[in-house]
Structure formats: structure tokens, C-alpha cells
């Protein structure tokens, strides 16, 4: 897994929060976010970016498919609202996917503690609904981020 070793150069620490995971009416799960080519290693076995994987993972628990919007620098994806918590949003696998999606855009990620703040039940290292057909989840996304100081850069540094 040496392919992800050199990626974690430096991440901006300061983030401006905005909820960029927006429900949409009719399109299938998709992503408008584009990863920098240096983060191609984050793609899954189907050649899908972590942003598209994130869209799949969050869509399972919602009636409406989700589009993962692109993220300006210094912005990050927020975790679920109290009213929006689900086995999808409160899974660290989903957190890892959104964090990777932020990182690959050269944006900023939040930590698991903040992401899961509104979750009354959390699913560290697991994704209870089961990986949806149409996508695949890379093994590193299943790593339990709570044993990596709740932060994906500590997780990815182990790659
Ligand atoms: C990663 O996925 C994106 C989006 O599907 C694609 O444009 C890119 O070429 C892929 N890169 C690699 C190295 O697979
Ligand atoms: C928790 O959810 C509330 C709305 O229910 C939201 O205003 C708040 O920003 C959320 N907190 C975090 C840390 O995501
Ligand atoms: C990534 O973001 C930093 C600061 O936000 C910027 O200085 C740098 O040029 C960006 N890199 C790319 C490849 O966009
Ligand atoms: C998560 O981020 C918040 C805001 O930056 C910070 O206050 C908190 O200490 C962090 N928690 C962990 C476990 O890193």
C-alpha cells in the first residue's frame, strides 16, 4: 500500500464549515467534484473517485440520491445534522470517503469527532447497510479512523 504514502504533504487545518452534501431530485448519485490527478490512487477498483464513492455511500440511506458538490479550498464536508443521522452518515467509512473527497480536491477535511457530533449511534470501521451495487469501497476506507486519532490524515499516513 505504498501508493498512498506521499500524499499527505500538508493539509490546511482551518476549515470553514458548510454543508455541501445536497439532496437533489432526479439524478442518480453523482459527484460534481473533481480530484487532482495526484490523488488517482484514491480511486476504487471501478475507477471511481472517492467523491463518487461518497455519493453512493450517503445515498443508500436517503430517499433522494445525493450529488456531492465540489468544495472550495478551506471548506469541508460536514457530518449529519441531528435530524439527518443515519447508518450511512454515522459510519466512519462514509466519513473517510468524504474526507478523501475533500483532500483530493485540495480542500479541507474535518475530524471524525466533529463529523459524528450529531450521531447518537456511530459505526466506526463499519458500514451497516452494505456496500451498494455499482460501487466498491477501497480497503483503506474501512479502516477505523477512531484508532487513528479521529483524523483521516493519521489514517492515510499509515497507507
Ligand atoms: C480516477 O477517477 C477519475 C474519475 O473517475 C478519473 O478521471 C481518473 O482518470 C482516475 N484516475 C486513476 C489513476 O484511476
Ligand atoms: C448538528 O446538527 C445541527 C442541526 O440539527 C446543526 O445545526 C449543527 O451544525 C450540527 N453540528 C455539527 C457539529 O455538525
Ligand atoms: C492547494 O491549496 C493550497 C492552499 O489552499 C494552494 O496554495 C495550492 O496551490 C493548491 N494546490 C493545487 C494543486 O491546487
Ligand atoms: C476535532 O476538531 C475540532 C475543531 O477543530 C477540535 O476542537 C477537536 O479537538 C478535534 N477533535 C479531535 C479528536 O481531533
pLDDT digits (tens, 9 = 90+) for 36-53: 999 999 999 999 999 999
Residue 119 Cα to chain centre, angstroms: 16
pLDDT at 126: 96
Q: What is the mean pLDDT of the chain?
A: 80
pLDDT at 128: 96
Residue 76 in contact with ligand 4 by CB distance below 6 A: no
How far away, in angstroms, is 105 Cα from ligand 3 center? 9
pLDDT at 21: 46
pLDDT at 25: 39
Half-sphere exposure of 148 (CA within 13 A, CB side): 21
Atom of ligand 1 at shortest range from CA of 35: 3
pLDDT at 150: 83
Q: What is the distance between the alpha carbons of residues 24 and 47, in angstroms, rounded to a whole number?
A: 24
Positions of the chain with pLDDT under 70? 1-29, 63-65, 158-159
pLDDT at 113: 94
Atom of ligand 3 at shortest range from CA of 36: 13
How far away, in angstroms, is 54 Cα from ligand 1 center? 15
C-alpha cell at 49: 473517485
Q: What is the distance between the alpha carbons of residues 61 and 112, in angstroms, rounded to a whole number?
A: 19
Domain edges within the chain:
31-158
34: number of Cβ within 10 Å: 11
Contacts for 39 with CB less than 8 Å, ≥ 6 apart: 7, 50, 100, 103, 104
How far away, in angstroms, is 51 Cα from ligand 4 center? 23
Residue 151 in contact with ligand 4 by CB distance below 6 A: yes
Residues with CB under 6 A from ligand 1: 40, 43, 47-49
Query: Looking at ligand 2, which residue's alpha carbon is closest to its atom 6?
Result: 81
pLDDT at 32: 81
Amino acid at each position: 500500500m505504498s501508493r498512498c504514502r506521499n500524499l499527505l504533504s500538508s493539509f490546511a487545518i482551518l476549515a470553514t464549515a458548510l454543508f455541501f452534501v445536497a439532496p437533489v431530485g432526479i439524478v442518480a448519485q453523482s459527484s460534481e467534484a473533481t480530484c487532482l490527478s495526484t490523488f488517482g490512487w484514491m480511486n476504487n477498483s471501478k475507477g471511481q473517485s472517492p467523491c463518487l464513492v461518497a455519493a453512493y455511500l450517503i445515498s443508500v440511506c436517503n430517499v433522494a440520491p445525493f450529488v456531492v458538490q465540489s468544495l472550495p479550498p478551506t471548506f469541508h464536508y460536514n457530518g449529519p445534522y441531528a435530524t439527518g443521522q443515519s447508518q450511512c452518515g454515522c459510519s466512519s467509512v462514509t466519513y473517510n470517503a468524504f474526507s478523501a473527497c475533500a483532500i483530493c480536491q485540495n480542500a479541507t477535511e474535518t475530524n471524525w469527532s466533529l463529523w459524528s457530533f450529531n450521531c447518537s449511534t456511530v459505526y466506526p470501521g463499519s458500514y451497516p447497510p452494505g456496500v451498494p451495487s455499482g460501487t466498491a469501497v477501497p480497503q483503506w476506507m474501512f479502516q477505523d479512523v477512531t484508532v487513528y486519532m479521529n483524523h483521516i490524515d493519521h489514517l492515510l499516513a499509515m497507507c
